[in-house]
Amino acid sequence: MLLTRRLFVLPSTSGLLNHSLASESSAVVSNQPPLPYEHLPGDWKKGWRNLYHFWRKDGFHNMHHLMMKNYQRFGPIYRETLGTHDSVFIQHPEDAAALFQVEGIHPERLRIQPWYEYRDYRNKRYGVLLKSGEDWRCQRLILNREVLSVAGMNRFLPLLDSVGQDFVRRVYTQVERSDRGKWTADLTNELFRFALESICYVLYGQRLGLLQDYINPESQKFIDSVTLMFHTTSPMLYIPPRLLRLINSSIWTDHVKAWDSIFNHADRCIQGIYSSLRQRTNNTYSGVLSSLLLQDQLPLEDIKASITELMAGGVDTTSMTLQWAMYELARAPGVQEKLRAEVLAARAASGSDLTALLKRIPLVKAALKETLRLHPVAITLQRYTRRDTILHNHMIPPGTLVQVGLYAMGRNPDVFPSPEQFSPERWLGGGSTHFRGLGFGFGPRQCIGRRIAEMEMQLFLIHVLENFKIETNRMAEVGTTFNLIIFPSKPIQLTLRPLSL
Ligand code: HCD
């Protein structure tokens, strides 16, 4: 962690860096006329050579570390070309704020080419994740009402709560089996199952039963396929998938296999709901899919595409974040106890009223923000500028791909004092949090699963903290590997010890 501090001590003799080192507020206001685009620091003239070096340094798994080195070399704004991608990288909250001001009404992220290629290859529709323009906006607004609005949220709170309770029950069973009064394990797969169970309950209104001993092999295959899909995507960020397809590379064929089983399993779940819809008798809420089908506002194939994206997007993302959260809570002295005290008080005051309960746990929410600061799922946020923009006193032309280095921002001591410390309180202390908590992105193109993820993770932590003490080996520091999203570089061993023993 000491390293992070050193990374940002920049040599004041470097002429290139002087203008960009000015105080943070100059990110938006400056008396100087902005510098032209061509003056941006960075290695942007050597795209293919960069790609080669990147590959030699195992850059595919170290994107986030290389990015931090680049910030150290070039300062808070630089331009980089890797293969065919030409982007400007920023990391100050004020610059991020300026970028989101010019994203327009149809904001777009960087295109993950292999995801489009697969759908074209198999003749499948794009869901909201991959759509753009008006088509994206209309469908996104309809889906927002289901999964992002307060009304939508209240409908699935009790569902997520019961999955959290089942996880606790499962842990008690494992503790009993272990005969040692505690359960020590790499929880990766358990959390994958928890996350898939949660998202499927919300989408389909039905339980898959993944927190029991017998698991449907189809579901386990789905879980493994999502991970394989992420792993095979990262090399294709820079090597055109067309090329890999042409030479029949295993990266492409594995990628296709992974998506095939993702779509097959999702199709089966969707089909089950679709055919049972006519037999429905009562008016209780039975999930996002039924609700969309009954509204009949979107074409069936589009509903399927977006539901499949939500289902696949809901597995590795929340489970990894929860694993990091427990890892940090086990290591940071005293933090877990404070959170537990808050949870117990909130429970005593709200009983089974979940909405009231979630209003009384600011520290638990801050702990999740703090987890995403140190371990963001996405290493960058990306947008194309829609008009002339000044970023860090440089003129950026419309249509430029700008990436906010989220991982680097989270570990930058100018933005977060003592960044190596896991301190949820930094989010509540009255310091500026302006454009600092960007774990789910910002604006109309922010993460569509945000509310589901937040509720799912908050309820999970509540249940775990109420029942167990979380422990880990403090000495075993775990690094991070980039596989499209950020994964732990080695398995994390966690111990859950019942509080009542
Ligand atoms: C990966 O340089 C690194 O919620 C690239 C830039 C980039 C673009 C889009 C990001 C992606 C990164 C990480 C994974 C994200 C994705 C957008 C949605 C996706 C953040 C940062 C994710 C995990 C949902 C995936 C859904 C899918 C399984 C259908």
Residue-wise pLDDT for 55-106, tens only, equals 777 777 888 998 999 999 999 999 998 877 899 999 999 999 999 999 999 9
pLDDT digits (tens, 9 = 90+) for 312-368: 999 999 999 999 999 999 999 999 999 999 999 999 999 889 999 999 999 999 999
Whole-angstrom Cα distance, residue 34 to residue 462?
A: 49
Task: Take residue 207 and report the two structure tokens written for it.
Answer: 């339980």
* Residue 119 DSSP symbol: H
* 270 in any annotated domain: yes
Residue 13 is classified by DSSP as T
pTM, to two decimals: 0.92
Answer whether residue 104 is part of any domain.
no
Task: Work out the pLDDT band at 185, boundaries 50, 70, 90.
Answer: very high
Mean pLDDT across the stretch 233-240? 88
Q: Cβ-count burial of 107 within 10 angstroms (0-12 exposed, 13-18 middle, 19+ buried)?
A: buried
Question: What percent of the chain shows pLDDT beyond 70?
Answer: 92
pLDDT exceeds cutoff 60 at 411? yes
**Structure confidence at residue 6 (pLDDT):** 31
Separate counts of helices (H) and strands (E) for the chain: 20, 11
Residue 157 lies in a domain: yes
- Say whether 381 sits in a helix, a strand or coil: strand
Which residue has a Cα nearest atom 15 of ligand 1? 378
Residue 35 DSSP code: B
CATH code, 296: 1.10.630.10
CA dist 1 → 411, 419, 486 (Å): 9, 8, 17
pLDDT: is 483 or 51 the higher one? 483
Looking at the domain assignment, is residue 245 inside a domain? yes
Instruction: Answer yes or no: is 397 within a domain.
Output: no
Is 128's C-beta closer than 6 angstroms to any atom of ligand 1? Answer: no
- Which of 113, 147, 227, 485 to mutate to test ligand 1, by most ligand atoms within 8 A of the CB atom? 485
Task: Determine, yes or no, domain membership for 360.
Answer: yes
pLDDT on residue 85:
85
Torsions phi, psi of 285, nearest 5?
A: -65, 130
Note the Cα 268 to chain centre separation in Å.
Answer: 26
The percent of residues in the chain predicted with pLDDT above 90, rounded, is 80
129 within ligand 1 shell (Cβ under 6 A): yes
Rounded to the nearest 10 degrees, what angle do helices 150-178 and 450-467 cross at?
40
CA distance 426 to 388: 35
The atom number, within ligand 1, closest to the CA of 379 reads 21
Q: Which amino acid is at 440?
A: F
Show the beta-strand stretches assigned E in 47-138. 77-82, 85-90
Q: Does a structural domain hold residue 180?
A: yes
> Average pLDDT of 121-140?
98
In a domain, 91, yes or no: no
Amino acid at 315: V
- C-alpha to C-alpha distance for 75 and 69, rounded to whole angstroms: 10
CA neighbor of 306 nearest in space, from 485, 152, 134, 141: 141
Distance of alpha carbon 287 from alpha carbon 290, whole angstroms: 6
Contact 405 CB / ligand 1 (< 6 Å): no
Domain count, the chain: 1
Q: Which residues constitute the domain of residue 324? A: 111-382+414-498
Q: Taking 60 as the threshold, does the pLDDT of residue 3 lie above it?
A: no
CA of 323 to the centre of ligand 1 (A): 19
